[in-house]
Amino acid sequence: MAKFYITTAIDYINGPPHIGHAIQKVWADVIARFRRISGDDVFFLTGTDEHGINIMKKAEELGKSPENLADENSEKFRAMKKTLNLSWDDFIRTTDKKRHWPGAIMIWNKLREAGDIYKSQYEGLYCNGHEAFITDKDMEDGKCALHGKAPEKINEENYFFRLSKYASKIKEAIESGEFKILPESRKNEILSLIGDGLEDVSFSRSEKDLPWGIPVPGDESQVMYVWCDALANYLSAIGYGRNDDWKKWWPADLHVLGKDNLRFHAAIWPGMLLAAGLDLPKSLLVHGFIQAGGRKMSKTLGNIVDPFDLVEHFGTDAVRYYFSREVPIFDDGDFTEEKFERAYEGNLVNGLGNYIQRVSTMARNYFPEGIVRPSHEDLLKVALKRGNSEYVTLEYFVKEIITKEYREAMEKFELTKAIDKIFELLKELDVYVQVNEPFKLIKTDKEKTRVILWNLCYGAVGLAWLLSPFLPETSDKIFDIFGISEKLKQEWSDFKAKEHKALFPRIEK
C-alpha cells in the first residue's frame, strides 16, 4: 500500500473562515478521498497559523488575549470539518507547545548547525497583511499589490536564513521535476523569481515588537519569523522533533496552497529543507483565487461569502459540487448566487437527482424482488452504442472507458475534468433510457426490461462510486438506494431499489 501525505496551507486566524478557505479544503479533501478509494494509505493535514502581529492587534481591538482569540477562531476553522464533510486526519495549531513547537525548534537548530542562520541588521518594507517583508516587485503605487496598504519601513537586528546558498539546488530540483510545481505557469513564475539567485531572508523579529510567537532557541530576545514557525507545521504534525513517526510520511506527496503562498512554499520552504538535510515535497498544487461576480471579495464591498451560510441554504454536497466543477482549480474562479442556483437546479436537481429518482422508481415498481446480474450474452443484446458501429456493454463503458479517463484526470489533479467525466456518463445513461424506453417495454417484454434496468442500476451505482470523493454523502445515499454495501470495488452484481427522498430538493423561491 503506497502512502500519500497531503496538506493544505494552514489558515491565518485573524478572522473567520471565508469561501476561499473552504474551497481549498474541499479540493484537498477530494484528492485525499480519491487516493483512499485507490488503495493508498492517506494522511491529510490541515490547521491554523496563530502567531504574528495581526493576531495581537486583533485581540487588543476586541479586548481579548491573543490566546483566547486563537482558541476561538481556530475552532471556527475546525468546524469546517463537519460542515463541509472533510476527512482530514489531523489539525495542527502553531500555538500547540507540545506538538508544534518541538518541530519548529528542531528545524531552527538544524539550520543553525548547517551554518545557515546568522545575525545581521535588517532594513526593509514590512507588510502587515502578509506578515512578511516585501520588495518592490510586490508593490503597486507604493502599496502592497495584494493587500492595498502601504508597508511599514523597519530597521532592526535579527536573524537571517542563508537562502542564497540553496538557489541553484532549488532551481535544479524544479527544472528536473524532482520538485513539481503545478500548473506549469506557476512553475515558470517561480523559476523567473529565482532567476540567477535568491536573497537571504529575515528569519526572526524582535520580541519587543512581536512577543506573540515561538522564542528563538538560545535567544529569547528574538521570536521566530513566520517561515520557521508556520511552514514547520508540515513536519511537526507528523512527529518531527518529538518521535520518528514523521519518517513514515515524509516527504509530503502534495502541498495544496493558494498562489499568494507560492514564493514561500517554492523557494523558502525547499531552502529550509535542503539546509536541514530533509527531502523536498514531491509536488505543489497552486490554485487561484475566488471572486464574487468578477470582483475581489472584501469587507468594504460587503461581498464576502460565508461557507457556513452557503451550506445551510443548499446543503454540503451542493457546495462541494460547485467548488469542484464550477471553480477551476488552477485559475481564478467566480461565485454568484445566480450561478450557484443555476448549477444546482440544472445539474443536481434536474440531472443527477432526476436520473436516480427515475431509475430507482422503475426498478422498485417493476422488480420489487430485486434484479440479479444478467448473462453477458443478454447484456450484449442491449449494449451501448458508441460511434457509428461500435457497441459495448454499459458495464464496460463505466469501468473501462469512463473510469479510466476519470482516473487520468484525478491523477493530474484536474478535478473539473474528472467530474465532467461523471456527467458525461450521466448524459449517456439518460440517452440509454430514451433509446430503450423501459417504461414502455415493460408492457411487452419484461425480461428484456430487466436487463435494461440492471444496466441503469449499474450506471447509477457507477455514478455513486465516481462521485464518492466529490459528493460523499450523496454517493452513500445512492449506494443505499440500490442496496449496495460493498462500495469500493466496482464488482456490483445484484440490485434492490428502495424508496427515498429527493437527493436534491428544489429551491423554494
Amino acid at 331: D
Query: What angle separates helix 446-467 from helix 472-481, to the nearest 10 degrees?
Result: 160
Residues 282-304 have pLDDT tens digits of 999 999 999 888 888 766 667 78
3-state SS assignment for residue 49: strand
- Per-residue model confidence as pLDDT tens digits over 429-476: 999 999 999 999 999 999 999 999 999 999 999 999 999 999 999 999
How confident is residue 488, by pLDDT bands cut at 50, 70 and 90?
low
Q: What is the pLDDT of residue 445?
A: 97
Q: In this predicted model, what pLDDT tens digit does every residue of 380-394 receive, in sequence order?
A: 999 998 877 688 999
Q: Which fold has domain 336-481?
A: Isoleucyl-tRNA Synthetase; Domain 1 (1.10.730)
Q: Where are the domains of the chain?
A: 336-481
pLDDT at 150: 79
93: β partners: 48
pTM above 0.85, yes or no: yes
Mean predicted lDDT score pLDDT of the chain: 93
- pLDDT given for residue 296 in this prediction: 81
How many angstroms from the chain centroid is the CA of residue 468?
15
Closest to 254 in 3D by CA, of 324, 329, 335? 329
| The predicted structure's pLDDT at residue 188 | 97
**pLDDT (tens digit per residue) in 5-48:** 999 999 999 889 999 999 999 999 999 999 999 999 999 999 99
Q: E-assigned strands of 228-281?
A: 254-258
User: What is the percentage of the chain residues whose pLDDT exceeds 70?
Assistant: 95
d(CA 75, CA 23): 18
In which band, very low, low, confident or very high, does the pLDDT at 316 lie, cut at 50, 70 and 90?
Answer: very high
Q: And the C-alpha cell for 99?
A: 506538538
Residue ranges in 398-493 assigned as alpha helix (H)? 403-411, 415-436, 438-441, 446-467, 472-481
Q: What is the pLDDT of residue 305?
A: 87
CA–CA separation, 17 vs 311, rounded Å? Answer: 13
Question: Would you place residue 131 in the very low, low, confident or very high pLDDT band (cuts 50, 70, 90)?
Answer: low
> Which sign does the torsion angle of CA 236, 239, 87, 178 carry?
positive
pLDDT digits (tens, 9 = 90+) for 187-205: 999 999 998 789 999 999 9
How far is C-alpha 362 from the chain's CA centre? 38
Which of helix, strand or coil describes residue 245? coil
Is there a contact between 238 and 5 (Cβ–Cβ < 8 Å)?
yes
**What gap in Å lies between CA 501 and CA 3, rounded to an integer?**
38
SS3 36: helix
Q: Which residue has the higher pLDDT, 16 or 249?
A: 249
Rounded Cα–Cα distance for residues 83 and 25 (Å): 11
Query: Residue 129: pLDDT above 70?
Result: no
CA distance 198 to 271: 10
Listed in sequence order, the residues at least 6 apart from 1 whose beta carbon sits closer than 8 Å to its beta carbon are 39, 40, 41
403-411 vs 446-467: helix axis angle to the nearest 10?
0
